[in-house]
Amino acid sequence: MNILAVDIGNTRIKWGLAEDSGWLRQGWVATTRPDELKDEWAGLPAPDRMVIANVAGTAVQGQVAALLPAASRPPHWLVSASVQCGVRSSYADPAALGADRWAALIGAWHLTGAACVVVNAGTTMTVDALSGEGVFLGGCIVPGAALMRAALARDTANLALREGAFRFFPDNTGDAIFSGTVNALAGAVEQVVRNLQDSTGTAPRVLLSGGDAGLIELRLNGVVTVVDNLVLEGLLQIARQTE
């Protein structure tokens, strides 16, 4: 069975075509250029199932829907559930949880089967706690690196966008902004890790995904695993279980 999984994010539309043995192809286009999916998907084997997570709004959803290849079943547009694929949600309104976060949690549970902190560092960064029983306990959302730096540039007089690098003790404004951004992101992750460890008694793994994963990977303590396209991994599990 061929499965087309699509993760429509705020910056990128990531996709993958998988068969029973694993991924056949993966790729991405900018969310501002969904029409490029037509060329990306040209020549792909016809999918039997299509499952899609969308957090980019209805307009982009319509554009992507018009480009989907013919399949034996209509596409499944993911809505977060209270229970799915072994994961149970503690969100006050489970359906209000972003579909990408839900898929990433399912992907993380499939990969670990253990307590972990699930991080997706993209346009925004989400940090979600998953218990050893597969319960999504909750999580936080913070601006991503580009949004943080843009906010400083927009809302201050002297902190315009500029080049910078990470330093433990920055001695110039560019490095200070960049290092502060990285420390803020890493600190948000470390706080959730600490809270989960306090409640379980065991240091959880961190599963790190997203375009800015490389910014914070080395700034985190404990066991950190970078997983490319964790949302797609979760979508694949959802498609297989609902077959």
Active-site residue, 100 included: yes
Residue appearing with tokens 């599963």: 207
Which amino acid makes up residue 111?
A: L
Cα–Cα distance between 106 and 118 in angstroms, integer? 10
> Which one from 7, 48, 100, 128 is the annotated catalytic residue?
100
137-146 long-range Cβ contacts below 8 angstroms, 24+ apart: 137/90, 137/196, 137/199, 138/90, 138/91, 139/101, 139/192, 140/188, 140/192, 142/184, 142/185, 142/188, 144/185, 144/212, 145/121, 145/181, 145/182, 145/185, 145/212, 145/215
Pairing assessment for the beta strands 87-89 and 135-143 based on DSSP bridges: parallel
Q: Are 99 and 80 in contact (CB under 8 A)?
A: yes
Return d(Cα 44, Cα 65) in angstroms, integer. Answer: 17
DSSP-based three-state secondary structure for 177? helix
- Which residues have a catalytic role annotated? 100
